[in-house]
């Protein structure tokens, strides 16, 4: 099974787009997305220095545009690509890249959203001097205790050996002077305490704006940074992206879901290296590919075909005749009492729960419908993205687009 992942802020490096922009087709697509964002991303991706592209309002649109256009270079025909991709995910702002690549948002919607996200987070960061620091090594419980002791937040849980702390400059300085044994601190190239309460004003701004965005259900399994769950409703994908600005990134749980799904190959879109580095420590036995330059496309394509399952995403394709409700994660399924073939479900109805060692998750049918078939029985063990209930759309839920709230 193939996983495609999209990096987050801090992955950018000066000039990383230069070799890509030598191709006219790539350059034209990239310039279009830069025009939509109203930012000179060509300059920032080729000529600007490290300090300039550290700016949140620049870095975030730059990363999303780079990921979207390089994904088209890898998959020139997205419709043909969807069945090949077993799962997609993005780290932090990379969730926007992944959502657009999976068809939940258009590329233009993604660029406007990330522009506003970057600006709002930059403004929130300017209120109080804040930053982020990666804590590498040591005992996880000791690291979390030290972060809490100094009033900071564990903003990114990146799996074995890496937790990212975020907070005020003073909090991080105190933490750096009081690190647990065998722990090394590394300052990150970001300009604020992302994924913490410091970003609450940005969440409010984005929540208001995104009420005007229409969405589509993703065409591949899409994982959420909140809890590693498979999210199959476009509206929920967008709502989670907004809320995640002020919530910790649980990339560790995303990797757990990839392992549960049986991922065999993980390809990271440019600028690649951060997520494959984390995966190397956490997804043992999974083949990794860092795509960074156009001359690697032929090898990347071979990697994709080596790990793709031709029918991998087929059951998630939008189909006007029926829809599937899928499991958000691994666990034991319990069906809602009274749910039977022929039941008519209003939008947002709960069809059951999936319970595991991390707790219990409700399984909802976002747009409702008529129950055609129940595909999992009470007590059945289920995996992430597994189809649980097949629904026939009602008149109120027809169409592929979820309009404003």
Residue positions annotated with a catalytic role: 92, 195
Instruction: Check if the beta carbon of residue 286 is closer than 8 Å to that of residue 279.
Output: yes
Q: Do the strands 2-6 and 162-168 form a parallel or antiparallel pair, or are they unpaired?
A: unpaired
Measured in Å, how far apart are the chain's first and last C-alpha atoms?
Answer: 35
What SS3 string covers 265-305? EEEECCCCCHHHHHHHHHCCCCEEEECCCHHHHHHHHHHHH
**What DSSP line would sit under 252-267, residue for residue?**
HHHHHHHHHHT--EEE
Closest CA to 233 of 401, 4, 1, 110: 401
Give the CA angle between residues 53, 59, 60 to the nearest 5°: 175
Which letter, b or e, does each residue of 9-37 get, where b requires 16 or more Cβ atoms within 10 Å of its Cβ? bbbbebebbebbbeeeebeebbbebbebb
Task: Annotate 255-291 with b (16+ C-beta within 10 A) or e (fewer).
Answer: bbbbbbbebbbbbbbbbbebbbebbeebbeebebbbb
What are 64's two structure tokens? 């999303």
- Given a contact cutoff of 8 angstroms between Cβ atoms, the answer to whether 291 and 172 are in contact is no
Task: Determine the Cα–Cα distance for residues 194 and 130; give it in Å rounded to an integer.
Answer: 9
Cα dihedral 23, 25, 30, 32 sign: positive
Q: Residue 2: enclosing H or E segment and its boundaries?
A: strand 2-6
Q: Which region, left, alpha or beta, applies to residue 285 given φ > 0 means left and ψ of -120 to 50 means alpha?
A: left
């Amino acid at each position: 099974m193939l996983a495609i992942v999209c990096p987050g802020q801090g992955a950018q490096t000066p000039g990383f787009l230069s070799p890509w922009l030598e191709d006219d087709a790539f350059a034209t697509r990239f310039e279009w997305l830069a025009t939509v964002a109203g930012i000179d991303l060509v300059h920032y991706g080729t000529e600007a220095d490290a300090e300039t592209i550290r700016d949140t309002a620049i870095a975030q649109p730059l990363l999303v545009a780079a990921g979207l256009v390089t994904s088209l270079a890898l998959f020139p025909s997205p419709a043909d690509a969807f069945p090949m991709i077993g799962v997609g995910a993005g780290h932090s702002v990379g969730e926007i890249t992944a959502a657009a690549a999976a068809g939940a948002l258009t590329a233009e919607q993604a660029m406007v959203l990330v522009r506003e996200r970057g600006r709002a987070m930059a403004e929130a960061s300017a209120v109080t001097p804040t930053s982020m620091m990666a804590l590498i090594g040591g005992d996880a419980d000791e690291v979390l205790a030290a972060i809490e002791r100094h009033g900071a937040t564990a903003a990114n849980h990146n799996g074995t050996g890496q937790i990212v702390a975020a907070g005020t400059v003073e909090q991080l300085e105190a933490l750096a002077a009081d690190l647990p044994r065998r722990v090394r601190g590394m300052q990150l190239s970001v300009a604020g305490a992302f994924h913490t309460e410091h970003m609450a004003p940005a969440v409010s701004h984005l929540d208001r704006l995104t009420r005007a965005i229409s969405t589509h259900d993703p065409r591949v399994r899409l994982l959420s940074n909140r809890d590693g769950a498979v999210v199959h409703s476009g509206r929920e994908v967008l709502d989670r992206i907004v809320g995640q600005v002020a919530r910790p990134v649980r990339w560790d749980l995303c990797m757990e879901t990839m392992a549960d799904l049986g991922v065999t190959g993980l390809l990271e879109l440019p600028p690649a290296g951060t997520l494959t580095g984390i995966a190397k420590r956490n997804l043992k036995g999974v083949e990794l590919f860092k795509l960074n330059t156009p001359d690697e496309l032929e090898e990347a394509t071979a990697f994709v075909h080596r790990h793709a399952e031709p029918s991998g995403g087929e059951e998630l394709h939008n189909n006007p005749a029926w829809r599937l409700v899928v499991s958000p994660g691994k666990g034991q399924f319990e069906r809602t009492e009274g749910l039977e073939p022929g039941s008519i479900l209003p939008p947002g109805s709960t069809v059951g729960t999936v319970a595991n060692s991390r707790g219990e998750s409700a399984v909802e049918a976002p747009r409702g419908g008529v129950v055609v078939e129940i595909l999992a029985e009470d007590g059945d063990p289920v995996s992430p993205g597994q189809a649980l209930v097949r629904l026939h759309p009602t008149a109120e839920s027809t169409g592929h687009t979820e309009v404003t709230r």
